[in-house]
Structure 1
Amino acid sequence: MLPRLFVQASALFLCDTVFLSLLNAWWPSLALLGALAGWVEAALRLLVLGGLWGLLPLGRHSRVLLVTVATVVLLAPFYLALGRWLGDPPLLLSSAPRSWMLVGYVVGGLALLLWEVLGQGASTEKGKEGDKAAFWKVVKLFRPDALYLAGAFFFLTMAVVGETFIPYYTGRLIDILNTKYDSDAFSLAILPVCLVSLGSSLSAGCRGGLFTFTVSRMVVRVRHLLFSSLMRQDVAFFQEVKTGDLTSRLSKDTTMMSRSVPLNANILLRSFIKVVGLYGFMLSVSWRLTVLSLIETPIMLATQKFYDRRHQALLLEIQDSIARSGEVVRETVSSIETVRSFATEEEESQRYDAALKETHRLKNQRDLEKAIYLLIRRLFELGLKLLLLYFGYQQILGGLITKGNLVSFILYQMEVGSYVQTLMYIYGDALSNVGAAKKVFEYLRREPSVRTEGMLAPEVLRGHVSFKNISFSYPSRPDVQVVKNVSFDLHPGEVTALVGLNGSGKSTCVALLERFFEPQSGEILLDDIPIQEYEHKYLHRQVALVGQEPILFSGSIRDNIAYGVEDCSMEEVTAAAEEANALGFIHELEGGFGADVGEKGGQLSAGQKQRLAIARALIRKPKVLVLDEATSALDVESEAAIQQSVLSRQARAVLVIAHRMQTVENAHKIVVLEGGQVVEEGTHSELLGQRGPYFRLVQRSSTD
């Protein structure tokens, strides 16, 4: 790609050389225009090179060459005119040695190489546009805080204006001390310094307080929006995304993106006002020294731009690394019993240590690159200060400035350099933090595959469920069909048992009934109406699920039984616990219904947790009750008691999934699944008589 660019640049250079040779014949006439002659020459060059522009096959590099040519052409008259004002001929490039034109092309070529090295091609433009879009989305989230931000920016302006005047008055004090001492003049000069310093300090304090307050409000608001969005996602999303990643987005990324806009806007506005004010004072002191100090800007801009790209990439890698180490901790702690039973404590520690080392390596790389960048910047700043001191001393000897002027200029230059660097840095820093915002917005705008927009909530519901030709594949394995054309019914007042080997599709049918997923074909009807048309809360109050490994939340027993049920009385809680055969052990616990179950119910046994989970389902008075291995952890006596109280109710349809054949023997109907398909359906005695898949399951169960 670069050789082709150099060929095109060579063609432009040859054309430019011929044109300047012809233009040299008109030099006496152009010279009469004075300093304006250079700009006339530049305009003519642009016209000629513009004509050649349409003849070159520039392709996607046209913008790069356009910037290069414009730089080469316009830099020459600016530099030559400046040299003319300083008494340094020549006036026109056409009358100068060709080495002057060659210098211009060398500068343009370096700009071209820099353009390519810093990745200004089409491949990075799309990413930058995405960063900008995410940045403006973050800005829009601050609309509720507009009043606080306006106050913060007002105090910011007042503080910066006050800070800008301090070096000016400092220079005046030095000039007064350098002459015959005048106490009245000194007092008049020091009073503004005190007043400006006091006002600037008060304004800075108010600014900082308002910005901190705004950031805190934003963090709370974004976390609420993100958590609400996550709660609307389908189950497949949580199977694909690790918990550590989500907690990292909720904690670290939301804080980072909330701080990015107000703090970067604070720094940006402060730096801009300071740069304008400082350069204004510097020009008033010495325009020659000001022009000399400007050489710092383009060099540091290129260095800063390269550093920003590296810094942004490393920040994203560090965020992902922290999320991975957090996932290791969560997974290990939540599975500590499994870790202990397999004696893999050392292996888990090594896994976490490896994750920490990767994060540490990335942070070391970030810090090393920052140190190298700061070293280069400090060395350049030191060299520039030495030049300014030398030329400033020459101007003092020439009577152009005073000693106080030089001190004020140096103080201003020391400040303006850092603020110019900040202006160049703040854009890259804002976009670096936008990397975190992009991940947050990705979750905020994600639409769940399972919609919960149904509005139907009838006062009377019978509880008749129909599976009609259901076929389904999990999103993670779209090529594997777990359920194939499954059809069966659940009738009110009847117990239907769903049996089959592991992997036959039993739990998948339950997940589809609970609308954890959407089937690829077929539909599930509740009272002859598709379940997606029912209101979300209504559906899950009428269709209650008790799983094999129920999850309890930290809190009291009463809170767990009444979970999700509004305005629930203590009588209802007690009745549900009694129906689930849980009342006995609850009274034995210290605190009764107020006893704390611990994190995920860790203070209770497996059987106690299952009975509380059954009570949590029964308190909703559901029309459809699903027991997915819900009695597997119970003893025979408790299971019999629950079957007597739960399964004998005539007002609801009950779906039972169990490996114990004793649990399903008394069901009104048994549906047998094999390979994701319904292969048999009937009562226990009917299916035994057919001596088919169900008969083999019973035989295997009795053998086990």
Structure 2
Amino acid sequence: MAKNKMTVVYKVAALGCAVCVDLSVFYTHGSFVTHSVSAHFARLWVFAVLRCLALTAVLQLTVGHIKPLLFRVLTAHSLLPAVFETGSWALYHEENQCGRQADVRCWLLCTAASLAAALFWEVIVPDTDEAAAGREKKQKARVLFVRVLRLYRPDYPLMLGGFVFLSLAVLCEMSIPFYTGKVIDILSGQYKQMEFGSALFYMGLYSLGSSVSAGCRGGLLLCAISAFTCRIKVMLFGALTKQEIGFFETTKTGELTHRLSKDTKLMGQTVCLNVNVLLRTFIKTIGMIFLMLSLSWKLTLIILMETPITGLIQNIYDTHYQRLTLAMQDSMALANEAVSEVVSNVRVVRSFNAEKHEACRYDVRLMEAHALKTRRGTVRAVYLLVQRLIGLSIQVLMMYFGRQFIQSGQMTTGSLLSFILYQSDVGDSIRTLAYSIGDMLNSVGAAGKVFEYIDRKPLVTTHGTLKPDVLRGHVNFHNLSFAYPSNPDKNVLQNISLELKPGQMTALVGPSGEGKSTCVSLLQRLYDPQAGEILLDNEPLELYDHSFLHNKVTVVSQDPVLFSSSIRDNIAYGLAECTLDEIQEAARKANAHDFIKQLAKGYDTEVGEGGSQLSKSEKQRIAIARALVRRPQVLILDEITSSLDAESENEVHQTLTGCPNQTLLVIAHKLQTIEKADQIIVISGGKVEERGTHCELMHNKGSYYKLVEKLFAE
């Protein structure tokens, strides 16, 4: 601690010594009198170089190694008076107050300007690894922004129209302060009615033009945002539906819905709203600076000192604000996911009296988001405070020098008023410009999340093209091993091999959780195995066309899912061309036609959300019809008879077994269903323990015999 204090004291002493040396050389330069322009500029540049060398030598001897940032400050601080004096003489043939005389005001002004310039350089071209990493992150944001801009291509006509009206609105806005100053000069001098009326007319005309153009601009850009948001939502939703099932098992539902609802909207605003503000502010700023230079170039240079300081503060603010925004988006996604879980499983929550627990869990998620939002708000409040203080300081400097220019006859009162109005707008515009760039980069952060999902390649590909005219339905599981993506260390299936023959019914039996449903999922190609392969007619599943495979290999599950549409739409789900006759034929085979015709609207009856308007047995029969309407070659039945009465079960079995060439795979726990199978395969621990007919396995008295005694005994 003592050593650190000594270091600080030593550095302060070195800085004080450097200031004393610099002031000595600065005042020595002011004491020399020259009688010609060439001698005057020679003196300026000689002493500028001497100041730079003297400061460098003092700091090198006292501090040691001089960092690049400090060296830039020294160089700018030493050479700035000479550069300023030379430039003002070359452009305007004027000599500023720092020319013939040197005083502390000139020294302080040059010091502040050099610090601002060096800091601005540090922002644009950073030296540290941390700053370079920040630049790399911003470069990625710029790449994302360009990609969003390209997606706006269909809306370019709307955007072009919006930007035309934007330019008109800005040009009209900029002209108003100019004519305001003219009115003041007319009123303060000799009154001329024609000039006064003309100035008022143009002020009113430009005000009307600004209002109309701003309204047209806003309408066109909002239309472009709406169209873009719809397109990007469809793109994201399409990309999500193509992902493998394992993706949805490892990604929270709340996060996906948040990306679809919130982040896509932010993406739309990234270009249109932010670029709208950015361009409007940029055009307005350039125009006002040009008009301010025509009023007083010296005051304009003082005003522009705000720009590098604002840029530095904005850079610091953007870094923290963007990090907190991304964290808050993730936190809100978790909160939405908690709500989604409770709403979709409200029966379980109620039955276990977990209402308070879920409310507390949601409260914790919201408080985490609230804490991040509070921190983000605090950062923004500090940023705005510093911006206001800088703006007020610049205004004080402008008023001080403006008074001197009026007294010296370099400006009129009306010109100063116009300059003050422009300065107020320029200060706000510079701050808005810096903020818009940062806000645009923050909005692009949301685009990064959306593009991450759009660009994601599914692990289970659907690029197969095989569509044979004749499919026998011969299935082979060859040395198959598999673990779920959510738990990759646990193998559910271990080197399993089995065969499903056309025209035969194969039953998978075994304790729950031993791999039967996993075999079904792999046969549907919802997952790809880690080892081994599944062959359909001696061809790997991945070679088959995606639509063809899922029409020829269909499944009816124990808990069928129906969508909130009509019975007709649910049976024909996923089929672009399906006639009513085909739908009715499938319903008859599934023993569903009779109860459907008794409904008020028949096949046009709405089933409600998740089929809530139907009983479990009715939903099961509609699901069977949905599978049969595809005329599958491989049909998988996963405990479908558990919701059917005995009569319906017998009718469905007669229908399914009436297809002589169809491959039938059944998972069931009813003995009367299992014993009818041509082949029974016992799966336990992810392996095939036994296979054979009911009589053969009962005679062996192995695993199947024990299962019959435990699970199938009536």
Q: TM-score, normalised by structure 1?
A: 0.89
> Who is 2:262 aligned against?
252
> Who is 1:164 aligned against?
174
Contact 1:152 1:208 in 2 (8 A): yes
Cα deviation 1:463-507 (Å, max 9, x = unaligned): 111111111122222222111121111111111001111221111
Separation in structure 1 between the aligned mates of residue 358 and residue 182 of structure 2, nearest angstrom? 67
> Who is 2:305 aligned against?
295
Separation in structure 2 between the aligned mates of residue 617 and residue 42 of structure 1, nearest angstrom? 89
Contact 1:38 1:81 in 2 (8 A): no
> Who is 2:508 aligned against?
498
Q: How does 1:538-557 map to 2 (within 5 A)?
A: 538-557=548-567
Per mean C-alpha deviation after superposition, the further-off stretch among 419-428 and 189-198 is 189-198
Q: 2:438 aligns with which of 424, 428, 437?
A: 428
> Who is 2:610 aligned against?
600
Q: How does 1:133-532 map to 2 (within 5 A)?
A: 133-532=143-542
Give the direction of change, closer, same or farther, for the CA distance of 1:590–1:657 in structure 2 (3 Å limit). Answer: same
Contact 1:472 1:520 in 2 (8 A): yes
Q: CA deviation at 1:561?
A: 0.6
Q: Aligned pairs, how many?
A: 693
Separation in structure 2 between the aligned mates of residue 422 and residue 98 of structure 1, nearest angstrom? 31
Secondary structure of the residue that 1:631 maps to in structure 2? Answer: helix
Separation in structure 2 between the aligned mates of residue 422 and residue 36 of structure 1, nearest angstrom? 42
> Who is 2:591 aligned against?
581
Q: CA deviation at 1:40?
A: 7.2
Contact 2:116 2:305 in 1 (8 A): no
Q: 1:651 aligns with which of 651, 654, 661?
A: 661
Q: Residue type matched to 1:542 in 2?
A: K
Q: Residue type matched to 2:604 in 1?
A: G
Q: Residue type matched to 1:69 in 2?
A: F
- RMSD over aligned Cα atoms: 4.1
Give the direction of change, closer, same or farther, for the CA distance of 1:469–1:260 in structure 2 (3 Å limit). Answer: same
Separation in structure 2 between the aligned mates of residue 48 and residue 671 of structure 1, nearest angstrom? 93
Q: How does 1:105-144 map to 2 (within 5 A)?
A: 120-144=130-154
Give the direction of change, closer, same or farther, for the CA distance of 1:118–1:418 in structure 2 (3 Å limit). Answer: farther
Give the direction of change, closer, same or farther, for the CA distance of 1:100–1:638 in structure 2 (3 Å limit). Answer: closer
Separation in structure 1 between the aligned mates of residue 674 and residue 436 of structure 2, nearest angstrom? 68
Contact 2:77 2:114 in 1 (8 A): no
Separation in structure 1 between the aligned mates of residue 611 and residue 284 of structure 2, nearest angstrom? 59
Separation in structure 1 between the aligned mates of residue 121 and residue 423 of structure 2, nearest angstrom? 30
Q: CA deviation at 1:445?
A: 0.8
Separation in structure 2 between the aligned mates of residue 506 and residue 34 of structure 1, nearest angstrom? 96
Secondary structure of the residue that 1:121 maps to in structure 2? Answer: helix
Separation in structure 2 between the aligned mates of residue 128 and residue 174 of structure 1, nearest angstrom? 46
Q: Residue type matched to 2:703 in 1?
A: P
Contact 2:173 2:207 in 1 (8 A): yes
Give the direction of change, closer, same or farther, for the CA distance of 1:340–1:118 in structure 2 (3 Å limit). Answer: farther
Percent identity between matched residues is 44
Q: Residue type matched to 2:658 in 1?
A: S
> Who is 1:618 aligned against?
628
Secondary structure of the residue that 1:486 maps to in structure 2? Answer: strand
> Who is 1:72 aligned against?
74
Give the direction of change, closer, same or farther, for the CA distance of 1:216–1:34 in structure 2 (3 Å limit). Answer: farther
Q: CA deviation at 1:113?
A: 10
Separation in structure 1 between the aligned mates of residue 515 and residue 195 of structure 2, nearest angstrom? 94
> Who is 1:86 aligned against?
96
> Who is 1:633 aligned against?
643
Q: CA deviation at 1:659?
A: 2.4
Contact 1:42 1:73 in 2 (8 A): no
What stretches of structure 2 of length at least 5 have no aligned partner? 57-63, 87-94
Separation in structure 1 between the aligned mates of residue 423 and residue 114 of structure 2, nearest angstrom? 31
Secondary structure of the residue that 2:326 maps to in structure 1? Answer: helix
Secondary structure of the residue that 1:525 maps to in structure 2? Answer: strand
Contact 2:45 2:79 in 1 (8 A): yes
Cα deviation 1:393-444 (Å, max 9, x = unaligned): 3333333222211211110011000111112112211110111011011011
Separation in structure 1 between the aligned mates of residue 50 and residue 688 of structure 2, nearest angstrom? 85
> Who is 2:92 aligned against?
none
Secondary structure of the residue that 1:214 maps to in structure 2? Answer: helix
Separation in structure 2 between the aligned mates of residue 217 and residue 192 of structure 1, nearest angstrom? 38
What stretches of structure 1 of length at least 5 have no aligned partner? 51-57
Cα deviation 1:528-584 (Å, max 9, x = unaligned): 111111110010000001112211100111110110112211111111111112223
Q: CA deviation at 1:219?
A: 0.7
Contact 1:72 1:108 in 2 (8 A): no
Matched, 1:558 2:568: yes
Cα deviation 1:344-391 (Å, max 9, x = unaligned): 222222222332333333323333332333233234323433443343
Separation in structure 2 between the aligned mates of residue 109 and residue 190 of structure 1, nearest angstrom? 45
Q: TM-score, normalised by structure 2?
A: 0.87
Contact 1:69 1:108 in 2 (8 A): no
Contact 1:580 1:615 in 2 (8 A): yes
Give the direction of change, closer, same or farther, for the CA distance of 1:641–1:454 in structure 2 (3 Å limit). Answer: same
Q: CA deviation at 1:102?
A: 10
Contact 2:116 2:309 in 1 (8 A): no
Q: CA deviation at 1:67?
A: 4.5
Per mean C-alpha deviation after superposition, the further-off stretch among 83-92 and 535-544 is 83-92
Q: Residue type matched to 2:297 in 1?
A: W
Q: CA deviation at 1:229?
A: 0.9
Q: Residue type matched to 2:221 in 1?
A: F
Secondary structure of the residue that 2:640 maps to in structure 1? Answer: coil
Give the direction of change, closer, same or farther, for the CA distance of 1:554–1:98 in structure 2 (3 Å limit). Answer: closer
Matched, 1:567 2:569: no
Separation in structure 1 between the aligned mates of residue 675 and residue 158 of structure 2, nearest angstrom? 69
Separation in structure 1 between the aligned mates of residue 251 and residue 288 of structure 2, nearest angstrom? 51
Separation in structure 2 between the aligned mates of residue 139 and residue 159 of structure 1, nearest angstrom? 23
Give the direction of change, closer, same or farther, for the CA distance of 1:579–1:474 in structure 2 (3 Å limit). Answer: same
